[in-house]
Amino acid sequence: MLLNQFLILSAVLFGCGIYGVLTRKHTVLVLMSVELMLAAVNINLVAFGAYNGNVAGQVFALFVLTIAAAEVGVGLAIVLLIYRNLRSADLDDVDVMKG
Amino acid sequence: MGFMENAWLVPLIPAVSFVLILLFGKRMPKQGSELGILAVGSSFVLSVGAAIGWINRVNDAESAEGEHALGMVFRAMGRSVGRFSQEEGHAVLPVEPITRSITWLQSGGIKLSAGIQIDGLAVMMMFVVTLISLLVHIYSTEYMRGDRRYTHFFATLSLFTASMLLLVVSDNTLQLLVGWELVGLCSFILIGHWWEDKPNSDAAVKAFLTTRTGDIGLLCGVIMTFFVVQAGTGEGSFNIVALNDSAANAGELGVSHTLLLWTAVGLLAGIIGKSGQFPLHTWLPDAMAGPTPVSALIHAATMVVAGVYLGARVFPVFYEGFSIADGGVNPMALVGGITVIIGALLAFVQDDIKKVLAYSTVSQLGYMVLALGVGAWVAAIFHLFTHAFFKANLFLGAGSVSHSGSHHSFDMKKDMGGLRKYMPQTFWTFMIGTAALAGIPPLAGFWSKDEILVNAGENDFQVFLIVGMVGALLTAAYMTRCIYYTFFGEYRGGDHAHADGAGDELVEHHLAEVQDEHAHAPVAVATHDAHDDHAHAGPHESNWLITGPLWVLSAFSLGIGLLNAPGIEKFTEWFEPRFAFPDLPHAEFSVAWASAAVVTGLIGIGLSYAYYWRGLGPQRLSERNSLARAGKTFLVNKYYLDYLYENVIVAFIKGPLANAAYWFNQHVIDNVLNYTGRGAMTAGHVVYDYIDQKGVDGVVNGIGISTDEAGSAVREIQTGRLQFYAFMLVLALGVFALALWIAA
């Protein structure tokens, strides 16, 4: 059973995701990077599930997919509202939390 | 046989139709009514199939080898559970109900199931509900024509039918409770169908809350049924067969009598609320604010008898819990007996034809509960069966009168009279319904009422026999009064006054009446008037969509009672439970009692006839005699029960109780607080001067200043840039991971 390869793939994917979240300025691209991170998690779940011969991993992957879909819905709604209020989807413009 | 196993389809079809009407009803050519009729019609066919299946099953059991059937049951249950009494020389063989169930949910070792239990009682109720629902659907296509919420009306009718059938086929008390609350919801929606007018929505809320009061008891009772089964079988469940078995064999199985008694009391509270028994009957007359077809279906024939049905369904609980076999007085019979009399008396002072019928329904429901209370199970259910037909007939008749005869008014004294000539079909069907209700042989009501009376006498409940007789007298009399005001004498409707030229007053009156009685939404009034243009020539007969259902119901009112006439007694044979049921005595038909009941009824009719037609007796007594006036005022105010509930109980909670709580709050709690406060203040001063100012403040100020400076320093990090925060987060995570790695 090849486990390491999957974990490496997942780690790389997760790294890409984090990189995207931290560097991209456009809100939608940040959301997409979050999706990438979730996909990495899914790969981990499925890989470990297969490795242990336990179907629960796949079941949870399905849960993650469902919740990710819901999350994107909410996320896009927030992006839309940000755009409406600020006339911009650039994250640097969102600085109401400035201390 | 397939009809019985698949009886779960019967409630499912109208439920599907409810959804379809809501989704597509407005776009259908007949605005959804055709879907409702189709669904209820299919359910009716399936119900008839199930009823025939059941009757065959009973007949098969009768003709099969007795010992074989007995042995099978013994093996199945491990002990005797059926009725094996020797009656008239032949053994009454047990016939098991057909049950199918699925697991609804499972939690902590307790399994809740959903399923059907098909037996005599269930198929009888399915037949009644689907048949009357079908007729009411057909009737409503004409009666509700042009209504602004026509589609919703039919959707809710479908939902109601589905819920009622769910309640009826249920194999456990929990599912029954679900159906019970659903029919209550539909009743609420339909009473408030014309909710734009305050009285209608008030009536809906009142009906909902009043029945809910009884439902508190019902909920407790249903929960207790679980423990009854647990005590009887070792494993708790809500299953009705197991419940009846545990209750019927309480002695052998060691089920505590106290538990059964309180279960019965709880369930009885539910019956009192739902079936309009004293003292919670006050919602039922107000429920007449709903459209008349709804009154016929829900508040006469089906929903209000759900309470009686519950009583019959788990009858062994009441039988053992209230020790009905011992005779004497028990809560159930007492409640029923009181309701018979007070309902009938109230019917005398009503001007609204629907309210007369509503109080009559209250009174007749009292008969049914009374019959259950005296151990006359068959009589109670037989009366439920016959009453459903003749009371639905009467309500639909009243609807026909208002629809085509009195300009949507239900006021007998102001807007009716003499309609016999204009509406012969409505008149005759109404007469048949009245005769059936008054107990004129050989119509339906005679047989069922007589069976209740003779059983009450036979089972040592002589008091209730007399109550029943008085009730029969009153019933015949108030129905005669109702007929007199509606169909005889001179027509007093609006058109006469038009001709008289009493214009202003009349227009006002007519408007008030529309608001008051029918309470159409303004748009609906306009459309209604539009379609009624042809009718303004005067009162006329309703069309076949209305008279058709009337004649069908009249036919049932005429003939259905013969089903349990002496020598036939098919109703007992087919529908009485023969499984997990106490061995009840059946009183023989007695010519003497039957004649006494008929004579009583005729005296009632005769007295009314003499008073109203011939003008004999003390006319206008209540205007001359103060005692009579007081009595009438007492009745007109409905025994001040509404006053009691609204102005005394609710006001007590709002007024004195709240004031007392306020006083307690102001004087006791506040004083305690004040003195505590004063003491604390003195102590506070000491503490303030010496400890606080000198000791604590120094420390606090020190902390404050350092926090402030630290904050100013850290503030620089709060850039407000999200991605910087995220970066910090990832960084921290990395540090944690590193720490973990090193530690490992």
Cα-Cα-Cα-Cα torsion B135, B138, B143, B146, nearest 10 degrees, comes to 150
Burial category of B75 from C-beta neighbours within 10 Å (exposed 0-12, middle 13-18, buried 19 and up): exposed
Q: Which of B351, B180, B193, B145 is nearest to B275 (CA)?
A: B180
Rounded Cα distance, A21 and A15, in Å = 10
Helix (H, G, I), strand (E, B) or coil at B358: helix
Residue A88 CA, chain-centre distance (Å), reads 22
Say if residues B517 and B409 touch (Cβ distance below 8 Å). yes
Say which residue, A66 or B566, is predicted with more confidence. Answer: A66
pLDDT (0 to 100) of residue B1:
52
Say which residue, A93 or B184, is predicted with more confidence. Answer: B184
pLDDT (0 to 100) of residue B528:
44
Residue A1: band (very low, low, confident or very high) from pLDDT cuts 50, 70, 90: low
Is the CB of B718 less than 8 angstroms away from the CB of A18?
Answer: no
Number of neighbouring beta carbons within 10 Å of residue A74: 9
Q: Which residues of A touch B721 (CB under 8 A)?
A: 91-92, 95
pLDDT (0 to 100) of residue B8:
85
Residue B118: strand pairing partners = B98
Rounded Cα distance, B588 and B454, in Å = 8
In chain B, what are the helix, strand and coil shares in percent, each to the nearest 5? 75, 5, 20
Question: Shortest Cα distance from A71 to chain B (angstroms)?
Answer: 18
pLDDT (0 to 100) of residue B676:
85
- DSSP H helical segments within B576-666, as ranges? 591-612, 621-624, 626-636, 641-643, 651-652, 658-663
Is the CB of B723 less than 8 angstroms away from the CB of A22?
Answer: yes
For B732, what's the count of Cα atoms within 13 Å in the CB-facing half-sphere? 6
Helix (H, G, I), strand (E, B) or coil at B99: strand
Question: Shortest Cα distance from B385 to chain A (angstroms)?
Answer: 52
pLDDT (0 to 100) of residue B622:
64
Mean pLDDT, each 10-residue run in order, chain B (744 residues): 80 91 82 87 91 86 58 43 43 75 80 87 91 91 85 90 92 90 91 86 86 89 89 85 85 84 91 87 86 89 90 89 80 89 84 87 91 88 91 90 78 77 85 87 84 84 85 87 83 54 38 43 41 55 84 88 79 80 78 83 84 72 68 72 72 74 79 85 82 76 85 77 84 92 86
Is the CB of A99 less than 8 angstroms away from the CB of B722?
Answer: no
Number of neighbouring beta carbons within 10 Å of residue B85: 11
pLDDT (0 to 100) of residue B43:
92
ipTM, two decimals: 0.79
Number of neighbouring beta carbons within 10 Å of residue B2: 10
Helix (H, G, I), strand (E, B) or coil at B103: strand
A79 touches B: beta carbon within 8 Å? no
Q: Looking at the partner chain, which of A22, A95, A99 has a beta carbon nearest the beta carbon of B715?
A: A99
Say if residues B194 and B519 touch (Cβ distance below 8 Å). yes
Rounded Cα distance, A59 and A18, in Å = 25
Q: Looking at the partner chain, which of B718, B726, B730 has a beta carbon nearest the beta carbon of A98?
A: B718
pLDDT (0 to 100) of residue B481:
86
Residue B213's contacts (CB-CB under 8 Å, 6 or more residues apart) are: B273, B280
Q: Which residue of B has its CA nearest to A22?
A: B723
Question: Shortest Cα distance from B732 to chain A (angstroms)?
Answer: 14
Residue B95's contacts (CB-CB under 8 Å, 6 or more residues apart) are: B57, B58, B61, B119, B578, B579
Question: Shortest Cα distance from A93 to chain B (angstroms)?
Answer: 8
Q: Which of B381, B357, B378, B364 is nearest to B439 (CA)?
A: B364
For B112, what's the count of Cα atoms within 13 Å in the CB-facing half-sphere? 12
**What's the first-to-final CA gap in chain A, in angstroms?**
51
